Chain A
């Protein structure tokens, strides 16, 4: 028990150090040439107490670029990466399906329908102000999950491959629905690309602030169910015999994972496969314990998305590749590999 806590402490310490390094490295990469040393100084300067000791020896525009353009983008990458990865881990744990992820289950596309609808038709502040979009995304995301679940259920049994098949079908359908809505609205084709392939461009600090409470709440709830998810690995009935409320746990974990997805999607569009790759890598490193997997997926997902986004904006600079393209290039082959591996285990 305490061994687990020590391990978690060590791993997350190392992970956070790597995360900070990634943030600084990513912030110093860009078309305007700012050295990594200067980036460190500009960032340290912002900290209370420590910051006062840093002598200002950089041009004003550099500070503007770092603090107003690059840093918010990287911070958003951190939040989105963490949200999608933790959501993926949640889905995988409760469905006992290593192929489950907000994207392959269709939940991300479902959430994008709700978000896109409000934004494209100018309703984003209707009803409850700036909370409207994530909430609408949550509702359509949950509805999608329910439909996928029902589609996959045959005679009361849930088959793993069927679930992913229904998810992919829904995802294709809902992607088309979003494209259709974009064509109806007065916006340009670029917006379609944004909703289907995701992007972190032109998102200031406000979006991160908007996201943060959803992410914090979703992650806290999921972490509270980490031990129950461990028992799910033994089978649902075993978990029930050990005193887990199986149905309640499923409902809450699915809802919290959908909430994380919805919050992420309503700000950045659909970024696929993050929740598939990251928890799997974490599992390879630290084993099957969800008390480790959930927090470390958050850290690893943040690092992963920082670098995926850095790749997206640097590879063909100054042209930017949609982030979802990068994650799909990395994620789809990985999905194929997992599918193959799964097939082997099932055929013996």
Chain B
């Protein structure tokens, strides 16, 4: 079953000078239940914008994004939040709520106006904390956690939301490599157990190649390729999109294609000034 269908999606933003700038141009793809689909592309390629369109916080200027056959706006917000969750890169601010309280906030879409649920969610909350190794930190406030720990809390909050579709927006950007692998492993294990569908914007091509079933490459707002990691992570495509030609080798254990960067080899800047101005908007 198709969870996400994007059809001829365009997105324009006003550029301040009275005209509009196209950030996404005729992008289309389908995500089926249980898949992990990666979206990669250089800065300013429109990948975060695409994720925001899927999550429904922004609407497409042209074309449409269907979530289980309906546009996001057709769902009441809480109902959508019961099966679609988003994990952002800059996860949680250092606030005075405890780990347990923040994870419990993931139940908001299931609560009535008094804050009650049909069934007591505390067993679920405890088991998620157990699984993510947060039990010892349960009564600590977020102000007193490291960035890596806060990102794990963010994952916990998303897990108690019990979604069917998880959108990841560069969730490992601010993590060191140990936490990066840990985070992706948690998500993969969870996915295998629950049949979760994952759409992930990833910065790191090597992580994308290891964890995704399928990868979509965006370049200047257009989809330039879609396929298995082996189809996508190849030297010519990377060179034309990122402006640097890497060496691609199979991972000795998983056999996933991995890239090695070659210093001194870059060919962009001169012919792509628009990309850099687009960047500030995408991160906004």
Which residues of A does B touch, CB under 8 Å? 1, 156, 224, 227, 230-231, 233-235, 237-238, 240-245, 283, 287-289, 291
Which of chain A's residues have a CB closer than 8 A to the CB of B115? 1, 227, 291
Contact between B86 and A230, CB atoms less than 8 A apart? no
Assuming A237-B57, A241-B55, is B97 touching A230 (CB within 8 A)?
yes
Assuming A231-B105, A242-B106, is B81 touching A1 (CB within 8 A)?
no
Residues 86-120 (chain B) with a chain A CB within 8 angstroms = 86, 88, 92-93, 95-97, 101-102, 104-106, 108-109, 111, 113, 115-116, 120
- A-B residue pairs in contact (CB < 8 Å), sample of 25: A1-B104, A1-B116, A1-B120, A1-B122, A224-B113, A230-B97, A233-B95, A234-B92, A234-B93, A235-B93, A238-B92, A240-B77, A241-B81, A241-B85, A241-B86, A242-B105, A242-B108, A243-B77, A243-B80, A243-B81, A243-B108, A243-B109, A288-B95, A288-B96, A291-B115
Which of chain A's residues have a CB closer than 8 A to the CB of B268? none
Assuming A1-B115, A289-B101, is B109 touching A242 (CB within 8 A)?
yes
Contact between A234 and B95, CB atoms less than 8 A apart? yes
B151 within 8 A of A: no
Closest CB in chain B relative to A238 CB, distance in Å:
7
Contact between A233 and B86, CB atoms less than 8 A apart? no
Which of chain A's residues have a CB closer than 8 A to the CB of B45? none
Which of chain A's residues have a CB closer than 8 A to the CB of B144? none
Contact between B81 and A242, CB atoms less than 8 A apart? yes
B161 within 8 A of A: yes
Contact between A234 and B102, CB atoms less than 8 A apart? yes
Which of chain A's residues have a CB closer than 8 A to the CB of B108? 227, 231, 242-244
14 further contact pairs, Cβ within 8 A, besides A230-B105, A241-B57, A288-B96: A1-B115, A1-B116, A1-B120, A156-B284, A227-B115, A234-B92, A235-B92, A241-B81, A242-B105, A243-B78, A243-B108, A244-B77, A244-B108, A288-B97
Top-10 shortest CB links A-B: A243-B81, A243-B78, A243-B109, A288-B96, A241-B86, A242-B108, A243-B77, A233-B95, A240-B57, A242-B81
Assuming A224-B113, A242-B109, A291-B115, is B93 touching A233 (CB within 8 A)?
yes
CA distance A1 to B117 in the complex (A): 10
Contact between B88 and A238, CB atoms less than 8 A apart? yes
Closest CB in chain B relative to A15 CB, distance in Å:
20
Residue of A1, A224, A245, A287 with most partner-chain B CB within 10 A: A1
CA distance A291 to B111 in the complex (A): 14
Closest CB in chain A relative to B235 CB, distance in Å:
36
Residue of A235, A243, A287, A288 with most partner-chain B CB within 10 A: A243
Chain A interface mostly helix, strand, loop or mixed?
loop
Contact between A289 and B97, CB atoms less than 8 A apart? yes
Which of chain A's residues have a CB closer than 8 A to the CB of B116? 1
Which of chain B's residues have a CB closer than 8 A to the CB of A243? 77-82, 108-109
Closest CB in chain B relative to A288 CB, distance in Å:
4
- One digit per residue, 1 when the CB lies within 8 angstroms of any chain A CB and 0 when it does not, for chain B 265-277 equals 0000000000000
Closest CB in chain A relative to B176 CB, distance in Å:
19
Contact partner of A237 (CB less than 8 A), chosen from B78, B88, B122, is B88
Residue of A231, A241, A242, A283 with most partner-chain B CB within 10 A: A241
Residues 22-78 (chain B) with a chain A CB within 8 angstroms = 55, 57, 77-78
Closest CB in chain B relative to A348 CB, distance in Å:
11
Closest CB in chain B relative to A139 CB, distance in Å:
29
B96 nearest CB neighbor, chain A only: A288
Residue of B55, B77, B82, B102 with most partner-chain A CB within 10 A: B77
Which of chain B's residues have a CB closer than 8 A to the CB of A1? 104, 115-116, 120, 122
CA distance A218 to B284 in the complex (A): 34
CA distance A230 to B105 in the complex (A): 8
CA distance A243 to B75 in the complex (A): 10
Which of chain B's residues have a CB closer than 8 A to the CB of A230? 97, 105
B169 nearest CB neighbor, chain A only: A237
B52 nearest CB neighbor, chain A only: A237
A96 nearest CB neighbor, chain B only: B93
Which of chain B's residues have a CB closer than 8 A to the CB of A244? 77, 108
Contact between A233 and B57, CB atoms less than 8 A apart? no
Assuming A227-B115, A244-B108, is B88 touching A233 (CB within 8 A)?
no
Assuming A241-B57, A287-B96, A289-B97, is B77 touching A234 (CB within 8 A)?
no
B91 nearest CB neighbor, chain A only: A238
Closest CB in chain A relative to B12 CB, distance in Å:
16
A236 nearest CB neighbor, chain B only: B57
A241 nearest CB neighbor, chain B only: B86
CA distance A242 to B79 in the complex (A): 10
CA distance A244 to B55 in the complex (A): 13
CA distance A240 to B80 in the complex (A): 11
Closest CB in chain A relative to B13 CB, distance in Å:
11
Closest CB in chain A relative to B15 CB, distance in Å:
13
Which of chain A's residues have a CB closer than 8 A to the CB of B79? 243
A245 nearest CB neighbor, chain B only: B77
